[in-house]
Amino acid sequence: MRIDLTGKRALVTGSSQGIGLAIATGLVGAGASVVLTGRHPGRLDAAAEQLRTAVEGVEVTTVAGDVVTDEGTAQLLAAVPDVDVLVNNLGVFGAQPALEITDDEWRRYFETNVLTAVRLTRSYLPGMRDRGWGRVQYIASDSAVVVPDEMIHYGMTKTALLAVSRGFAKEAAGSGVTVNSVIAGPTHTGGVEEFVRSLVGNQLPWDEAQREFMRAHRPQSLLQRLIEPEEIAHMCVYLASPLASATTGGALRVDGGYVDAILP
């Protein structure tokens, strides 16, 4: 399968590390120019240098700022007024007992994980539609379907993204723009390592801690291991390509068989 994104510009939010950086790496590997976003300039510079080292001659732009805020979003839109591919990856997660989640935390999760993606889609989708080509993606989670009891506020936001994705796909109908969500399963990132440790402790070596986490907290997984970020990125690069022209309004699973259903 030959994927060529030469001449396309992609924006990946939350892309200084983890899944976002893996997606950006996959996109530049397919020939796209990429915009990295995040709150920390130093991390963004390091990520950009990693991409330039991985792919010779790649065009990488960094925009530091908090796109959860109106000011941060305005700064990004001023620096990058148009893109061909938008990957809404930015998100926060963490364990907290359901009855102890405050109103402020509910708002923070919704504004970070959902409203930021809505705002950027609202900003970039019209230009894509006018040009007759574009790709919008939302990085959702198995938690959208199998809401974990230790972080229902996170699960709520990922369920919302599935609805947002389907709704914007209808808005883009017949325009040459596709809109999809990617249901990522439990994935190995630095943040997830910290999350795993918070649940199983620091005594076990990492491989044993990972297995214990999957056994105790994610027993539905058919993969029986954490997914590597690059495995999520492969799906995102495909969806960003012309080869995925007939895939829109969907929720594509890269969940290691975690969701126990034929359809999401």
- Residues 119-134: pLDDT tens digits? 999 999 999 999 999 9
CATH superfamily for domain 9-183+232-252: NAD(P)-binding Rossmann-like Domain (3.40.50.720)
Q: What is residue 169's predicted lDDT score, i.e. its pLDDT?
A: 98
pTM of the model: 0.94
- Specify the DSSP class assigned to residue 261: S
Is 80 exceeded by the pLDDT of residue 264?
no
Q: Compute the mean pLDDT over every residue in the chain, rounded to the nearest whole number.
A: 95
Q: What average pLDDT score do residues 105-110 get?
A: 98
- Specify the DSSP class assigned to residue 86: E
172 token code pair: 């883009």
In tens, the pLDDT along 5-48 reads 999 999 999 999 999 999 999 999 999 999 999 999 999 999 99
Q: How many CB atoms lie within 10 A of CB 133?
A: 16
Q: What is residue 195's predicted lDDT score, i.e. its pLDDT?
A: 84
Percent of the chain residues topping a pLDDT of 90: 88
Whether 10 contacts 59, CB under 8 Å: no
CATH 3.40.50.720 boundaries in the chain: 9-183+232-252
Catalytic positions, written as ranges = 154
Cα four-point dihedral sign 19, 144, 106, 69:
positive
185 token code pair: 């399963």
Whether 175 contacts 126, CB under 8 Å: no
Q: How far is CA 231 from its chain centroid?
A: 12
